[in-house]
Amino acid sequence: EPEVTQTPSHQVTQMGQEVILRCVPISNHLYFYWYRQILGQKVEFLVSFYNNEISEKSEIFDDQFSVERPDGSNFTLKIRSTKLEDSAMYFCASILYRSGEDEQYFGPGTRLTVT
Amino acid sequence: AQSVTQLGSHVSVSEGALVLLRCNYSSSVPPYLFWYVQYPNQGLQLLLKYTSAATLVKGINGFEAEFKKSETSFHLTKPSAHMSDAAEYFCAVSAPGANNLFFGTGTRLTVIP
């Protein structure tokens, strides 16, 4: 069964450093998402991406964040200058069509620890 | 705006007992509602979804949920808990035509042998 994969599973970085989290969505899917979950808090929507551009973003997704689909398979989330409060689990998701009814397929997540 | 509230961050049940995980939603439009499960070191997996068809929705692994508009609830149930049901469960809501999911804080289910 096709699945969304994410690398690395755990990333430790120092405050102020740049990190890139990688995701490989399901191959025929068209819409891609990043969510994050700070420990003990809700899973929060960050950004959605379609046709090589951001289609929607939350207020969490500020200028420190960027997303890219550099090739036909990877979907990346970059944090330019990490802060302590960026420590969280980051989930990538993909979906074939944007209808609201369809299932979003989630990856296993990347745990980001900023020290 | 959409949001969900999950009552109880931890729920423990005995093996074979009824599982009831609570979710209440808030939505300005008729919602789509979802339950996801997360096993350790795995991604979020869809258990079931409500998209304005039947109010009683059956999902995988024997779970079901009932959409009750009058109570703004979408509680998840399973008649008989199994050890393999131990996981984190997330309720989520979205609006028709949108895909952005709004999640609850999750409920960790422990099954006691």
Confidence of residue B1 (pLDDT cuts 50, 70, 90): confident
Q: Contact, B108 vs B9, CB < 8 A?
A: yes
Lowest mean pLDDT among A18-22, A60-64, B76-80, B94-98: B94-98
Question: How many Cβ atoms sit within 10 Å of the Cβ of residue A75?
Answer: 25
Collect all residues with Cβ–Cβ distance below 8 Å to A71 and sequence separation of at least 6: none
pLDDT given at position B54: 86
The CA distance from B5 to the nearest CA of chain A, in Å, is 10
Query: Is the CA virtual torsion A36, B35, A56, A42 positive or negative?
Result: negative
Structure tokens that stand for A72 in this block? 């036909």
Q: What is the mean pLDDT of residues A65-86?
A: 94
Please give the pLDDT value at position A101: 63
**Tokens encoding B102:** 């709004």
Read off the amino acid at residue A80: R
Residue A99 clears pLDDT 70, i.e. is over it: no
- The C-alpha of A7 sits at a distance from chain B's nearest C-alpha, in angstroms, of 13
Q: Is the pLDDT at A103 greater than 90, yes or no?
A: no
B112 vs A30: which has the higher pLDDT: B112
Helix (H, G, I), strand (E, B) or coil at B84: helix
Residue of B39, B99, B102 to mutate, testing the A interface (most A Cβ within 10 Å of its Cβ): B99
Using the Cα atoms of residue A49, residue B35, residue B47 and residue A107 in order, give the sign of their dihedral: positive
Instruction: Report pLDDT for B84.
Output: 95
- Residue B61: φ, ψ to 5°: 60, 25
Among candidates A42, A56, A108 on the partner chain, residue whose Cβ is nearest the Cβ of B100: A56
Query: CA-CA distance, A106 to A85, in Å (whole number)?
Result: 23
pLDDT at B41 over 80: no
Percent of chain A clearing pLDDT 90 (strictly above): 71
More confident residue, B43 or A56: A56
pLDDT of residue A11: 97
A35 and B CB contact within 8 Å: yes
Could you tell me which of B96, B94, B85 has the C-alpha nearest to residue B60?
A: B85
Calculate the alpha carbon distances from A4 to A24, A108, B28, B47 in Å. 6, 8, 31, 17
Residues A99 and A40: their CA atoms lie apart, in Å, by: 30
The reported pLDDT for the residue numbered A110 is: 96
Name the residue facing A106 among B43, B99, B100 (closest C-beta): B43
The residue whose two tokens read 């990346």 is A76
User: Model confidence over B46-74: pLDDT tens digits?
Assistant: 999 998 778 999 999 999 999 999 999 99
- Strand ranges (E), chain A: 5-7, 10-13, 19-24, 31-37, 43-50, 53-57, 65-68, 75-79, 88-95, 105-106, 110-114
